[in-house]
A and B are shown apart, each in its own frame.
Chain A
Amino acid sequence: MKPEEHLQPRLSLRGIEKRYPGVRALAGVDLDVFPGQVHAVLGENGAGKTTLMHVVYGLVAPDEGSMTWEGEPLRLRSPREAIARGIGLVAQHFHLVERHTVAENLALGFPDAPFWRPTRSLLPRLRAAAERYGLALDPRAQVRDLSPGERQRVEIVKALMQGARLLVLDEPTSVLTPTEVDALFAVLRRFVAEGSSVVFVSHKLAEVEVLADAVTVLRRGAVVGRRSAADGLDRRDLARLMVGRDLAATVADRGRARAAAIAAGPVRLRLTDVRVDAPGRAQRPALHVASLEVRGGEIVGIAGVAGNGQSELVAVVAGLRAPSAGTVEVDGREPGSGRRRRGARNQVDAGVALVPEDRTKVGVVGDLSVARNLALRHAHRRPFARGMWIDWQAVARHSQSAVEAYDIATPSTGTPARLLSGGNVQKVILARELDRDPGVVVAVHPTYGLDVAATSQTHERLLAAAGRGAAVLLVSEDLDEVLSLSDRVAVLAGGRVVATMAAADADPEALGLAMAGVAA
């Protein structure tokens, strides 16, 4: 059953706007979801998909805009109100109590369940829902023993039992095996065939193509395109919409001008046959890089959907964990080889800088002063260390000059780092990591959550580091950023480098497809 033009939308969003400090997460989004429709919301990570779904589920209050539900104005103050209207959410991360059984977890979703033996009254309803949609579940199984796919089924059944007529699924297939994906799609089709609605949030083009009746594409919080299955969905067209076509015109010139210089530069970072095993799954390593080389002066962007081996790659290069197999060489030597492994310190001493993903928890110690944070990774060496002692005056002197050179806005160098804004925390990290002319720079989501000014400053710092001869590895989910800064782009999918290309020649379509795990 396909929606007709004259049909009233079940859920309708108009001009939804949500701003966070420094970010416009949603920029006036319109969305109509009809009965009997699977509506896909497509976009890269950070495009605003999850925020939008949180608005629909009452978790986030929009700053502006209005919603209607079956023709009536909808104002949600909490998920409970959303559930009462018939909106169900299957979140990306499941909200289940591991040590409880399936039935007990379901009972938690029902405030009206009796106090004594709350699960008993649910069993008939559970059985009915399970049969109707073909969702097999053992109500007595403990959640911790279930696979991710089964846990998702619990969440879906919970929403269905709560009487959902609109089911929102946020990246539902990211944890599923292909067979489980097929099963999920069958359930969803049965569900919409009854006249209910599904909002399917994804960045996987293939799935959207197969499942969706309508597609809304988000980029940077704004709707950049709408497509309908009735008019035919084209994967390349969607990829172009999602990634954006106006990519990196300037890169081409810069790239060509620099290519020659880089080709002559020495290889400063070399990974050979590096493998990182995932716990308990030796046959499917989290990371398996046969070969990756970064030359001095070169910026290599790592593109890919989160969870495809990026964090393992970063950890191995920065020395935060040892590879299960293979070698990581910096300037032709393995840091710390020949002596006891000392974790990241070997890498620091070998000249590997890391701008970490989590800047407030990892990149700085919030309770410590700016001055001490500026010395955090080098306190064991001159000029800060004198034998077993630390020369705090040297630390203070260094912090003064770093605050000036990197334009860090802080009341004083003695201010605890946690009182600084995100952009200034990042400046502290950049000052510490880039000030010593490192040989290798690893930057992970370096501009995530930063405002425009801080973003461009960060970009300049990274380009300058490369200009001084550093090999830069840039990991980012922002494809624009990767393409505009990098000389080369490597795409990680399933822990492997599935494609490498010069950024200047990179075709956004091919990139988007490679990221989505589709052979181009």
Chain B
Amino acid sequence: MISGLRRQRSLHRWEPRAEAPAWRVMLVTLAAVGVAALVVTWVFVAYGVAPGEAWATIVRRTLLEPRGLSETVRKAIPLLLAGIGLLLAFRARFWNIGAEGQILAGAIGATAIALFTELPGPLVVPAMFLAGMLAGAAWGAVPALLKARMGVNEIITTLMFNYIALYLVRWLINGPWKARSATGFSYSERFPADAVLPTLGATRLHWPTLAIALVLVAVVALLLARSRFGFEVEVLGRSPEAARYAGIDAGRVTLLLAALAAGAAGLAGVGEVAGIHRRLVEPTQLSLGYGYAAILVALLARGKALAVVPAALFLGFVFAAGDVMRVSLRLPSQLPDVVTGLVLLLVVASEPLTRGRWVRRDPAEVAVAAPVAAPVAATVDEPAAGAADASAEGGG
């Protein structure tokens, strides 16, 4: 034995787990959020703001004061809608990055109904929601069709569709739909009163959208847990090969999922124009990056539909806290983006921690190190033809 050739083995061994217990997942997620909070605290200090006072202000103005709380919930509405849709899409490994564009498409659909149809009063709002949902679904169905029929990577197409939607809105409010009164900023005409959503008291909380969002979350939770469609989504997401064997039409399921997800995002767009702005406005004001933040909502919820509610509320808090930092603490307006970015990074990075743990190696095991881990050590003669293909993972 030539002992000098042997590599030093570490004293710990990674032990994968069969099933991550729920408490561990929650603990890891909370720890990730906690680390993000620590980094933000450091940013406060770096900007010369007393961290204790800063946090107190933020908590008071986003959670304790009624008006602040309503802002937090209001910002959670589009995140709920887009987030539950993305959760559904991600369950089947359809990596939809296009919720932002689908929100804008929904807003366009709602605006078209609000400004250019002559429906009787009580029908206007339902028609707007329907149109917004269909517009969003259509926007999301194109990349899904491209993926199902031609295998085009949906990450690229959904992302690019965001820009198409953004410039489409810009063209509309600068061109055919531009308000006569608009001089400096561009926007559309104001919606008639029938096309505006009621809000809760003096707040900007447009409760009909919130109600729709909560119902949708419940419906998706039920679909995933109890329906044939939910089972097909589950199988497809975990093993596309087994799904084909099980007779699941991957193209149809993907298309349906993508349309559902995008339709939900479209509803979020309706809520923003009909509940907040009351006209079609500049796309970056219309959606403050809700479509991207919704990706984080879906990831934080880790596949559990009902967990979207706390996840969306948390992100709503981050958005509302961003306003407080900007207005009350006079911190740069980019800071909320830093926070969402940090949380996203930490949540994704902490994912492996839910799937196993480090355990101390047996000292004897360290001493008697096995020679070399051969890459094909598990192969018994000619591996069966299908086993050679390791590129089964979908989604890239």
Instruction: Say yes or no: B242 contacts A379, CB within 8 Å.
Output: no
Interface locus among B62-70, B245-253, B265-273: B245-253
Complex Cα distance, B245 from A346, in Å, reads 11
- Number of B interface residues in the complex (CB < 8 A): 39
Interface membership of B235, Cβ < 8 A: yes
In the complex, what residues of B have CB within 8 A of residue A318's CB? Answer: 245
Instruction: Say yes or no: B245 contacts A356, CB within 8 Å.
Output: yes
Instruction: Say yes or no: A93 contacts B388, CB within 8 Å.
Output: yes
Interface membership of A54, Cβ < 8 A: yes
- Chain A CB within 10 A, most for which of B5, B230, B239, B246: B246
Complex Cα distance, B380 from A59, in Å, reads 12
Smallest CB separation, B95 vs chain A (Å): 19
Interface membership of A518, Cβ < 8 A: no
In the complex, what residues of B have CB within 8 A of residue A380's CB? Answer: 228, 247
Please judge, given known A-B contacts A45-B381, A61-B371, whether A344 and B228 are in contact too, CB under 8 Å: no
Please judge, given known A-B contacts A59-B374, A311-B386, A344-B245, whether A379 and B381 are in contact too, CB under 8 Å: no
Interface membership of B207, Cβ < 8 A: no
Instruction: Say yes or no: B235 contacts A365, CB within 8 Å.
Output: yes
Please judge, given known A-B contacts A78-B372, A345-B247, A348-B247, whether A307 and B385 are in contact too, CB under 8 Å: yes
Partner of B242, one of A23, A54, A346, A363: A363
Instruction: Say yes or no: A320 contacts B245, CB within 8 Å.
Output: yes
Interface membership of A439, Cβ < 8 A: no
Interface residues on A, range: 35 or more
Interface locus among A243-251, A264-272, A276-284, A386-394: A386-394
Please judge, given known A-B contacts A45-B382, A46-B381, whether A358 and B387 are in contact too, CB under 8 Å: yes
Instruction: Say yes or no: B19 contacts A416, CB within 8 Å.
Output: yes
Smallest CB separation, B374 vs chain A (Å): 5
Partner of A25, one of B229, B242, B247, B381: B381
Smallest CB separation, A67 vs chain B (Å): 14
Binary contact track B347-376/A, C-beta < 8 Å → 1, others 0: 000000000000000000000000110111
Smallest CB separation, B339 vs chain A (Å): 33
Those of B207-240 within 8 Å (CB) of chain A: 226-232, 234-235, 238-239
Please judge, given known A-B contacts A25-B381, A49-B381, A390-B231, whether A60 and B374 are in contact too, CB under 8 Å: yes
Complex Cα distance, B371 from A506, in Å, reads 47
Interface membership of B378, Cβ < 8 A: yes
In the complex, what residues of B have CB within 8 A of residue A306's CB? Answer: 382, 384-385
Instruction: Say yes or no: A77 contacts B371, CB within 8 Å.
Output: yes
Interface membership of A302, Cβ < 8 A: no
Instruction: Say yes or no: B241 contacts A342, CB within 8 Å.
Output: no
Q: A414: nearest residue on chain B (CB-CB)?
A: B19
Those of B1-37 within 8 Å (CB) of chain A: 5, 18-19
Smallest CB separation, A404 vs chain B (Å): 23
Instruction: Say yes or no: A448 contacts B384, CB within 8 Å.
Output: yes
Interface membership of B244, Cβ < 8 A: yes
Partner of A379, one of B228, B238, B378, B384: B228
Complex Cα distance, B245 from A376, in Å, reads 9
Instruction: Say yes or no: A358 contacts B18, CB within 8 Å.
Output: no
Instruction: Say yes or no: B376 contacts A379, CB within 8 Å.
Output: no
Instruction: Say yes or no: A48 contacts B242, CB within 8 Å.
Output: no
Q: B226: nearest residue on chain A (CB-CB)?
A: A389
Interface membership of A319, Cβ < 8 A: yes
Please judge, given known A-B contacts A342-B249, A344-B245, A358-B386, whether A388 and B227 are in contact too, CB under 8 Å: yes
Complex Cα distance, B388 from A342, in Å, reads 27
Partner of A390, one of B5, B19, B228, B387: B228
In the complex, what residues of A have CB within 8 A of residue B384's CB? Answer: 306, 357-358, 445, 448
Instruction: Say yes or no: B388 contacts A361, CB within 8 Å.
Output: no
Interface membership of A513, Cβ < 8 A: no
- Decide if the interface of chain A is mainly helix, strand, loop or mixed: loop
Partner of B244, one of A58, A311, A320: A320
Instruction: Say yes or no: B380 contacts A23, CB within 8 Å.
Output: yes
Interface membership of A368, Cβ < 8 A: yes
In the complex, what residues of B have CB within 8 A of residue A366's CB? Answer: 238-239
Instruction: Say yes or no: B227 contacts A390, CB within 8 Å.
Output: yes
Interface membership of A385, Cβ < 8 A: yes
In the complex, what residues of A have CB within 8 A of residue B18's CB? Answer: 416, 419
Q: A415: nearest residue on chain B (CB-CB)?
A: B18
In the complex, what residues of B have CB within 8 A of residue A115's CB? Answer: none
In the complex, what residues of B have CB within 8 A of residue A346's CB? Answer: 247
Instruction: Say yes or no: B239 contacts A343, CB within 8 Å.
Output: no
Smallest CB separation, B254 vs chain A (Å): 14
Instruction: Say yes or no: B376 contacts A59, CB within 8 Å.
Output: yes
Complex Cα distance, B387 from A357, in Å, reads 9
Interface membership of A47, Cβ < 8 A: yes
Q: A306: nearest residue on chain B (CB-CB)?
A: B385
Complex Cα distance, B380 from A46, in Å, reads 8
Interface membership of B334, Cβ < 8 A: no
Q: B242: nearest residue on chain A (CB-CB)?
A: A365
Instruction: Say yes or no: B247 contacts A347, CB within 8 Å.
Output: yes
In the complex, what residues of A have CB within 8 A of residue B246's CB? Answer: 344, 376-377, 379
Q: B223: nearest residue on chain A (CB-CB)?
A: A388
Complex Cα distance, B18 from A449, in Å, reads 23
Interface membership of A50, Cβ < 8 A: yes
Instruction: Say yes or no: B228 contacts A20, CB within 8 Å.
Output: no
Instruction: Say yes or no: A368 contacts B234, CB within 8 Å.
Output: yes
Instruction: Say yes or no: B247 contacts A377, CB within 8 Å.
Output: yes
Smallest CB separation, B64 vs chain A (Å): 42
Interface membership of A367, Cβ < 8 A: yes
Smallest CB separation, A102 vs chain B (Å): 23
Those of A353-401 within 8 Å (CB) of chain B: 354, 356-358, 361-368, 372, 376-377, 379-380, 385, 388-390, 392
In the complex, what residues of A have CB within 8 A of residue B247's CB? Answer: 319, 342-348, 377, 380
Instruction: Say yes or no: B386 contacts A388, CB within 8 Å.
Output: no
Those of B176-233 within 8 Å (CB) of chain A: 226-232
Partner of A354, one of B5, B245, B372: B245
In the complex, what residues of B have CB within 8 A of residue A58's CB? Answer: 372, 374
Interface membership of A68, Cβ < 8 A: no
Please judge, given known A-B contacts A342-B247, A342-B249, A344-B244, whether A362 and B374 are in contact too, CB under 8 Å: no
Complex Cα distance, B242 from A388, in Å, reads 21
Partner of B241, one of A60, A361, A416: A361
Complex Cα distance, B381 from A445, in Å, reads 14
Complex Cα distance, B384 from A311, in Å, reads 11
Those of A313-366 within 8 Å (CB) of chain B: 318-320, 342-348, 354, 356-358, 361-366
Instruction: Say yes or no: A357 contacts B385, CB within 8 Å.
Output: yes
Interface membership of B392, Cβ < 8 A: yes
Interface membership of B379, Cβ < 8 A: yes
Binary contact track B32-60/A, C-beta < 8 Å → 1, others 0: 00000000000000000000000000000
Interface membership of A92, Cβ < 8 A: yes
Please judge, given known A-B contacts A356-B245, A357-B384, whether A50 and B19 are in contact too, CB under 8 Å: no
In the complex, what residues of A have CB within 8 A of residue B226's CB? Answer: 389-390, 392
Instruction: Say yes or no: A77 contacts B242, CB within 8 Å.
Output: no
In the complex, what residues of A have CB within 8 A of residue B150's CB? Answer: none
Interface membership of A458, Cβ < 8 A: no
Smallest CB separation, A270 vs chain B (Å): 21
Smallest CB separation, B302 vs chain A (Å): 14
Complex Cα distance, B239 from A47, in Å, reads 31
Complex Cα distance, B377 from A347, in Å, reads 37
In the complex, what residues of A have CB within 8 A of residue B382's CB? Answer: 45-46, 49-50, 92, 171, 306
Q: A391: nearest residue on chain B (CB-CB)?
A: B226
Please judge, given known A-B contacts A362-B242, A363-B242, whether A449 and B385 are in contact too, CB under 8 Å: no
Instruction: Say yes or no: A388 contacts B385, CB within 8 Å.
Output: no
Complex Cα distance, B229 from A379, in Å, reads 10
9 other A-B residue contacts (CB within 8 Å) besides A61-B377, A364-B242 = A46-B380, A46-B382, A50-B379, A311-B386, A319-B247, A365-B238, A372-B231, A377-B246, A416-B19
A-B contact pairs, 15 of them (CB 8 A): A20-B378, A20-B380, A47-B381, A49-B382, A54-B374, A54-B379, A60-B376, A60-B377, A61-B371, A61-B377, A362-B245, A363-B242, A363-B245, A390-B231, A448-B384
Nearest 6 pairs of A and B residues by beta carbon: A345-B247, A344-B247, A358-B386, A77-B372, A77-B371, A50-B381
